Structure 1
């Protein structure tokens, strides 16, 4: 709770009364003193009949803590007066930055007798991100509106808007190392499968449909059968570049990073649906990790992490050369989602030299900025596009 606050009106009236009294004493004139008497009585009445101290409690309830981007969310706040009667009270619920009210009010003027409760409901929408509600601001004033008592009541709540996900048919990867479970990835080993892998001599018990009659016809005493490539699942690590210097932010809160987040969510869903063991690393302000896992629960973990992802600057993580490669198993598949900067090519080469198979998904900052600003076809756009093309060719 905060102590009673003297509003600007109270200070102005007190200063005016003090000036009149001082003028009357200095000039030995009773006129200013006479004019000061009503002001002093008015201020005294204000202090005597000021609003009582605010003693209220607040409970916040949210109908969903995790929901898709742009979905409406109902927020309910119940305020209960545990102190004396409050005849004129202002209740305000500050919204986190980025949320907008679709229906209802977050500020109201009402009265709260002792023990009474008031329930405030409103519906908000928001973009992808994490939003925290912290407090309710309550203020009460006297009948004359001169003194105002203010209080900050904790009423915490948190919501996470998940990113939009585009359904992908299949993400073609072929890492060096796979697991023993059946899946969609060629394992570079002979076994049960559908794709031709090679030939070997016939062994007792091999199905007749595997016999390669053309190859066997070239040899007098030997029969050859077809071998097929086994299809397995793999470890996949997705790295989302959240460095502030690699992002493009335009007026109207339009950010290239949002496209990177959407691409990461779509890739993770496709890879998880194929049965792979997927991990996520958000690299920027810090290193936020989602450890490897399978199935629908793992996809929910990844989307939850992406819902809270934000760009940031960290001098220790300015370069991709500081990526924690031990987070990913040796020989696994790494998917890098990054707009790419000039100094990133060497770091990606180091990942390849460590034995990782690398897939780069790079949102185009030149195209994004030129489309939003309408400068396609200009000389500046041509030069930026040429520089971008040369950067990609280095890969």
Structure 2
């Protein structure tokens, strides 16, 4: 309505100026448009619309479905506009520039003609990325044949959509533990193994440590040496630390930026996959994420804990520096994880992380450090050269950790999760269990 009134005022000014200057041409040019606008304004009927929006999430897209129902007289033009959430709009801009070279990515727009009591349906797809997004109000405008807006309103329909990492299958993770405890919930059948709870007596074998001999029980048998057998590892406290800090070891072209974005999603997916496996094994699990900010999930059991971890990993945003203060984690780790817990640290590591790992080890935590290698995700003409430079730079960063006795499990991120589990993770964890 405001635009129509402005045009009416403009043509009134032209009409008055034509009368003052006795300019017949100016009077004629302004008289007929002014008469049309006044007649259109007098015959306009209030628009009554019913607008509904549904958001569906798939693996690769968010689908926005709009339904507009006209409850009043026929409308010549309907304009719908909705601003895309900023984080999602940025990824949409990159996709449009690469695929279609279309810069109009910041909003969903559509125009249609709608008859009386008619219904119009429209769908729009956005490339989905991991995260939690809030879709705000929808702007609806109605115009006549020459495009003059005579009705505009904002439809209150705030909705949210999210895309979480998808946990994949991973078998049992045989972590080495300094402390185990009883089962939570349903008690599983006991099995002989390497835990701490006493299971029974067995005949002493040469491979067993001498401290396992039960001298009191052996004294009752002249030719039989008995040893204590302990129950298979039951539950343990596990702390999962997922590092989303990007330290600039891969930088330059858009291909490297895409590799970093993919590596972050894969890191979060591995974290969720390991969390699912550990919780399915009955362990008590806590989560700490390092990104633009530290986010913490208190240790707990079960499916509800897995949903909390999934929601937390969904909202992780990467940081490009070391702005996070890790002093409390280094000097007071019990604020985050129980004493003698097993810490799984998934991080590309930087030189300043060495005191952190020393502090965790000094506090009695059993550390499992997985170091992602994103260089294999880089594509393009010079990817072999980029990989060589990356490994050369990373070698100087990781050598001090190895010299301090930290066992680093390398994860080549172009591998499938199944290949990484069987070829890298399991052999490394079995070796750690044998190391004193």
- TM-score normalised by structure 1 residue count: 0.74
* 1:119 Cα deviation after fit: 4.8
| Structure 1 match to 2:51 | 58
* 1:301 Cα deviation after fit: 3.0
Quick check: 1:318 aligned with 2:324? yes
2: distance between equivalents of 1:338 and 1:373? 28
Quick check: 1:331 aligned with 2:328? no
1: distance between equivalents of 2:43 and 2:318? 52
Which residues in structure 2 correspond to 1:173-322 (within 5 Å)? 173-181=175-183, 186-188=194-196, 190-192=198-200, 196=208, 198-201=212-215, 203=217, 221=222, 223-230=224-231, 231-243=233-245, 251=254, 254=258, 255=261, 256-312=263-319, 318-322=324-328
Quick check: 1:89 aligned with 2:78? yes
Please list every run of 5 or more consecutive structure 1 residues that lacks an aligned counterpart in the other structure. 204-210
CA gap 1:166/1:35 in 2 versus in 1, 3 angstroms: closer
* 1:272 Cα deviation after fit: 1.5
Please list every run of 5 or more consecutive structure 2 residues that lacks an aligned counterpart in the other structure. 97-107, 407-436
| Structure 2 match to 1:113 | 116
CA gap 1:107/1:30 in 2 versus in 1, 3 angstroms: closer
Aligned to 1:133, which of 110, 113, 135?
135
| Structure 2 match to 1:206 | none
1: distance between equivalents of 2:366 and 2:62? 42
* 1:310 Cα deviation after fit: 2.3
Which stretch of the first structure deviates more once superposed, 372-381 or 124-133? 372-381
Aligned to 2:26, which of 19, 27, 32?
32
SS in 1 for 2:351: coil
CA contact (8 A) 2:78 2:113 kept: yes
2: distance between equivalents of 1:381 and 1:247? 7
CA gap 1:388/1:167 in 2 versus in 1, 3 angstroms: farther
| Structure 1 match to 2:3 | 6
CA contact (8 A) 2:11 2:31 kept: no
* 1:47 Cα deviation after fit: 3.5
SS in 1 for 2:114: strand
**Structure ranking higher in helix proportion:** 2
CA gap 1:12/1:322 in 2 versus in 1, 3 angstroms: farther
2: distance between equivalents of 1:290 and 1:90? 45
| Structure 2 match to 1:345 | 354
Which stretch of the first structure deviates more once superposed, 129-138 or 77-86? 77-86
CA contact (8 A) 1:89 1:112 kept: no
Which stretch of the first structure deviates more once superposed, 324-333 or 297-306? 297-306
CA gap 1:186/1:112 in 2 versus in 1, 3 angstroms: farther
* 1:55 Cα deviation after fit: 4.7
CA gap 1:296/1:186 in 2 versus in 1, 3 angstroms: farther
- TM-score normalised by structure 2 residue count: 0.68
CA contact (8 A) 2:55 2:62 kept: yes
Which residues in structure 2 correspond to 1:144-163 (within 5 Å)? 144-163=146-165
2: distance between equivalents of 1:91 and 1:342? 52
SS in 2 for 1:302: helix
* 1:16 Cα deviation after fit: 7.0
2: distance between equivalents of 1:245 and 1:55? 54
2: distance between equivalents of 1:200 and 1:329? 32
CA contact (8 A) 2:180 2:235 kept: yes
* 1:350 Cα deviation after fit: 1.3
CA contact (8 A) 1:77 1:119 kept: yes
1: distance between equivalents of 2:246 and 2:14? 56
| Structure 2 match to 1:363 | 372
Which stretch of the first structure deviates more once superposed, 379-388 or 133-142? 379-388
Quick check: 1:376 aligned with 2:390? no
CA root-mean-square deviation: 4.1
CA contact (8 A) 2:70 2:114 kept: no
CA-to-aligned-CA distance 1:204-254 (integer Å, 9 cap, x gap) = xxxxxxx8xxxx8xx995742122233221011111223465796873772
**Structure ranking higher in strand proportion:** 1
